[in-house]
Structure formats: structure tokens, C-alpha cells
Structure 1
Amino acid sequence: MLAAECAWTILQADHAKMRRLLDAIAREAGDGPWRVAGPAPARLKEFIDTLRTFDHVSHRPKGTALLGVLRGRSPDADRLLDEMELEREGDDALLDQALARLDAFTRGETEAGAECAALLAQHRNRVLLHLDQEDTLLRAQTEQLLDHEEWAHVVSVISTSLYPTANANHLGTAPEKPR
């Protein structure tokens, strides 16, 4: 299905960008304790903010289109979506904690630098696992459960996030599928 391939190509491009941002954060945070002359907190915060903004403003809305069509299609798919949603909430909480420790470091709490680096490493590992799950488990569920019309709808909704100035009012809702 061409629409499915288009959707997954776009989502995988998002995943590649997120992986690059996670790598940049890891390089900037470094390993182990920070010294006073350690990573520049402002640069690290900029990378974190870029990742968070891209995830929330660009990637998640695309995923929402796909998940909205998939939800309710099978108990296994719903279980996977619930697990992934909880994981994302945990990922967001870790990033919030890391930012709080980074702020503490900039206020002079030098031990907060190592804590921030550890939280960022944990966040990175969790997000990489989550992206891999999207690329494998979620993709398998969508390929099994969604038809051509549903994929066309998903791609139409995704295109509005790529081209937000286009009028998206014509998209309506996903086609109803007999259960």
C-alpha cells in the first residue's frame, strides 16, 4: 500500500531526526560527573528544547493520526497503544527531571550536573526503545489492521502537519470500518 509506505517513511524520518537529537544531547551531556568547565548548560538546554518541541509539535501529531485510526481495532493493538502511552508519559517526566537538575546546575549545585547526565542517559535509552517499538511492533499492528482507505486518511492528516497552512477542514473523520 502506497499510503502506508508514505506514512511510515515520514514517521521514520521523524525517528531519525529524534535519534540525531538524542545523540547530540548525549554528546553534550557527556559521561560521568560534570566539572565547572563542563558542558555548556545553555547549549544542552537548547538541544533538549529542540527535541521536545519537535516531538510535541511535529512527531506526536503525526502519530496521533495513526493511533486514532488503530485504537479499538484489536485488544492486542489497544494494549500496545496503552503501554506506549504510559512509556511516553514516563519519558516526558524523565526529561522534566533532567531539566530541573540542569537548572539546579546552572544555579551552582555542581552535583546536579551528574544527576542531569544520568537522567538524560536514561531518557535516551527509553526513547530509543520506544522509537524501535514504533518501527516494529506498532508498524506490524498497523499493517495487519488498517486498510487502504484508513491509510489514505492517515496520510492526509499527516500532510496537514507537514503543510500546516493548507486547509485541513476537508479531511473529516476516518472512514468507519465494520467491526
Structure 2
Amino acid sequence: MVRVTLVQGDITAEHVDAIVNAANSSLLGGGGVDGAIHRRGGPEILEACRSLRRSHYGKGLPTGRAVATTAGRLSAEWVIHTVGPVWSREEDRSELLASCYRESLRVADELGARTVAFPAISTGVYGWPMDDGARIAVETVRTARTRVEDVRFVLFDAAAYASFEAALG
């Protein structure tokens, strides 16, 4: 069973095998976690993402999917990029959000990663309510079939940490 821990802080400072990036579909960087990972990881990550766009993902990475690149100058070995759904009042997109966590763990398994750091996917500019995002994240990771041994949810602030703490029960 996966050990789940919570950390309040900067995901780019985590010493893990793989860091999950809440990317946008272009894979070419953005704001929030995505921008921080690209800035701290250096140009190697952007070049690897450009290579993916030229080869397999010409139209971008679909929502709910995940793909890995080098971690560049980060202490991790890989960055696993996943595209979360934009929250909607009219449409239940919970399965797409859960897919981000499942697909990221599947990619981690393919890489042989045993420790993975996740942000709270889709809870920033994509507007997902933090409590619900935390519930989906924790439930999905706890029930996933994976060889990953340690999942860390690295949360930006105390409110996010509290939501994930409540979801962990």
C-alpha cells in the first residue's frame, strides 16, 4: 500500500524520484506549479517538452493523460506532466481529475519511480474547489494499483494542507 504524506512548501524543492507537474496541454510552461517547475528545472525540461510536441503530442497533451520528461536541474530524476480539467458547475469532470493521478502513477511505474510528489492538480487557476480536489486526489492515490511506495502531496499553503489533511481522515 502506498504511504501518503503531506508537505506544505515548494514542490520544486522535493527530493523524490518524480515530481508531477500540473501542466497545460501545450506542455510549454505556464503559471503556478507549471511555471515554477520550468523555471527551477531549467531549459532542459522545455526542450524535452518541445520534443514531445514535435513527435507524439502535436496537438498537445490531452486532459487526464500524463507523460514524463527529464527533470533538468531539479533534484528529481523525472517530471511527470499531467493536464488537469478546468472545474465546471455544469459538468462533472471528477473522472478526468482522478485520471491525472492514476495516469501519473502509471507513468511513474513505467519509469521505476518509487517516490512521487504531487501538487493539488486543477485547484489553482483551473478553479477546482480545494476540498473536493483533495478528496479525489487522496481517494485515487489510495486505491491505485501502483508500485510507487511514497506519495507526497506538496501543498502551497495552510488552507490546501488543511483540506488534504481532512481528506486523509
TM-score (norm: length of structure 2):
0.27
Greater Rg, structure 1 or structure 2?
1
Structure holding more strand per residue: 2
Kindly indicate which of the two structures has a greater share of residues assigned to helix.
1
